[in-house]
Every structure is written in structure tokens, then in C-alpha cells.
Amino acid sequence: MSSRDKPSRPRGADRSSRARDERGTRPPAADDHQIPRVVAGTVPRIVLRPERERSLQRRHPWIFSGGVERVEGAPESGATVEVRSASGGFLGWAAYSPQSQILARVWDFHESARIDVGFFTARIRRAAEQRRARFGESPQGAVRLVHGEADGLPGVIVDRFAHVAVVQLTTAGAWRWRDAIADAIAETAGVTSVFERSDADVVHLEGLAPSTGPLRGDAPPGPVVIEENGVRFGVDVREGHKTGFYLDQRDNRALLRDAVKDRDVLDCFCYTGGFSLNALAGGAASVTSVDSSADALAVLRDQIETNGLPASRAQLTEADVFAQLRLYRDQARKFDVIVLDPPKFAPTAAAAERAARGYKDINLWAMKLLRPGGQLFTFSCSGGVSRDLFQKIVAGAAVDAGVDARVLRHLSAAPDHPVSLAFPEGEYLKGLVCEIV
């Protein structure tokens, strides 16, 4: 089994491919005040402190515990609560998470809304129909059907891999409506199986235990085969990272494929080879793939063969990426294109300063290995590192590497991973294509 979602350090020995925080930045510690619980009417209610309603009026769905004056009633974990301002104005219907710093997440901002089975069916159907209209549907296609807050469903992620939908529920509210969500997916997603992968680290922040297994239909007996840009991948929905595959990099993999013909490519933190396979399919002269997981590299080796790609042009290396980059420097190795797609070094904003050193190091060493005119595809999936900070880190790496570099492209997640204008925290993946002048 390849390495799983575990905290990644900027420095250290074991850095397999990334395990992403797709909820965005974890919030800072809440104010140190005790929230009174008041037994009131039949509908549980959260009442905010004075002047704390502005973010909700701008449709931001998170309610931090430090902004809450009191909780009325005795809501259970995941229960739907009414949210009111200090002056009594209605603000929304939200899911209650008593063990989280995010005390509640808004399902709907309209007072007339009803949070019931029909609500979840309608939201999931809308998301599925939007994806179908924009991206089409094929028997071996793969797409993100539901992307949390951007689709009005905080804590709900759904990826469709061919005939299997994989659902990840990361909040108490999403768990409470698990059956309704599973039924809606089975009804609207055009799949024969709904498989749960609610085993991300973030579930512990909600006081929940990891949960995996089939929700509707049977568990797939083995990897689910999908096709992306003409390349076939076997997706391990049972044990693979996150839901089994990083769909967010789809467009960036295609971009790399168009940039590598007859060039020497280095793919760092390659996991099962999303970028490596596309580089080989794009006619790269050579592709060197580095990851700390022997299991992930074994899958990559099999997929090179399955796709009929030239194994003679592929070199698979099990190693710590930091150490391997320094080794390549000592060996005077040079490449034309380098991909850096590391695990999250900073799951929270508080960890950003420590993580910056790790991001700077790998980008510095990579730039030293690029030939003039070479391109660096570099990414951060850390919610705690903003797009602006990431570019500053990469710019600092170029200065320390003694190279002149310029940005050719700013990269993001594929468009089936939309970002709500009211919820910028949803933009977790950021990338740059830099050229060495």
C-alpha cells in the first residue's frame, strides 16, 4: 500500500506524494470564552456576538466559536441550527459542530429553506447536472461531482471514477445526512457503487472516527480504470490518497504533456505517476520519477506497461526527494522540465513560516538542476500558504539559486473544483510555471 494521508514535514526522511487539505486553511484558535447553553424554544439556535454577522451577510459559510454569544436549545452534533445576529436577524440554517473551532457551517442563507432529504437531493442533482453539461460524461471518465462549499454542501466531496462514486464526508453535519447524501449520489451520478472514504485527518477535528466502505452497491474488487487525455489510470478507491486520485491536477497534467516533447523530465513526489505518464505520452526523451513510496512506484511501473508507453525512457527512483535533489546536484544532472508536487507542508496558517523553508529548499534545488530555457512546474496544496506567499517563496528560491526566472503561467485546480467568491479559502491548490532565462 502506498503512503497514506499523514502530516508532512518540510524536512525529514519520508515524504511520499501529497495528501491534501481540501477544506482550505484551518481557522485560528477561538476566543477564550465559554459559550452559554440556554434551554429555549424547540428550534436550536446560535446567536452571534454583536458585529459578528458581517461575514455571513457576505455569504461566507463558516461560523467560528469565538463569534458566538450563546447556543439556545441542546443541539446534537451535526444537527441543523438556526443562526441569528445579536439583534435577532435571521442569517442562515447551519450544521452544528460542537467539537470544532468552526462551530457551525451554513447549509442555506434563506429563512424559507428546509434542510431535509429533498435539500440534499436537489443540491447534489444540481452539481451533477452542472458537471455533466460542462465536462460531458463517458464510461471511463472521471470528474469531481461535488466540491464542498462551492456547491453549497460544506464537508461533502464526491468524485466519480467511471461507474464508482467516492464520497468523503469531513464534517459532523455531512455525517448526520450520510444516508440522504448516498441516496442522492446513487440516484443522480450515473454510478453502480457509492464508496465512502471519510478517513481524512480533518474528521478528528469534528470529534469523528474515520469511516470507509461501500454505502450503496458493492465495493469495487480492484482498481477502477479511468481514462484522462488518452492515458489510462487504475484508481485505488479503497486505499489511494484522498478519494483515490488527484483529479484537481487534470488540466495541469495536460499542460505538461504539451511542453515535454524530446525533453528530459524530472517528476518529484510522483505518487502513481499522473504527471510522469503524461510526460511519456507527450514524447519526453526521458522521465525520471521520484517518490518515497515503493508501492506507488510499483503502480506507476504497471501503468507504464498498461498504456504501452516506452519503459526504456522511464527511470523510477525510490528516495526522499530533498536528498535526491541534492544528489542530482552533486552528480551534475540537468533536466529540461521539473515537476514539484509535494504533500502539504502547512495545513494551517500557523505552520506557514516553518513550511516556507521546505518549499524554498525544493524549489531552490530544482532551479539549480534546470538547463537554460528549462521550465519548473511547481505547486503548493497547503491551505496555510496563500498564492501570494507561495510566489514570494519561489522568487526567493530563484535568488538563492542564482538564476533569473520568470512566470509563464499561474496554475489552479481543474474547473470541476470551483471556488466560491464568498469562500476564498476553497482555493487550496496553487501553482506556477517558471522558465529559467
Q: What pTM was computed for the model?
A: 0.89
Of the chain, the percentage scoring pLDDT greater than 70 comes to: 90
Question: Residue 333: how many CA atoms within 13 Å on its side-chain side?
Answer: 18
Known catalytic membership, residue 381: yes
Does the structure show a pLDDT above 50 at 14?
no
Nearest-angstrom CA–CA distance, 190 and 185? 8
Please report where in the chains the cell 452571534 appears, as a residue.
48
Question: What does DSSP assign to residue 384?
Answer: T
Average pLDDT of span 241-268: 98
User: pLDDT tens across 79-108, in order?
Assistant: 999 999 999 999 999 999 999 999 999 999
Please report where in the chains the cell 499542460 appears, as a residue.
255
Per-residue pLDDT band for 3 (boundaries 50, 70, 90) equals very low
Nearest-angstrom CA–CA distance, 28 and 380? 20
Extended beta strands in 28-178, E state: 37-38, 45-48, 62-64, 68-72, 80-84, 90-96, 102-108, 142-147, 156-161, 164-169
Nearest-angstrom CA–CA distance, 320 and 326? 10
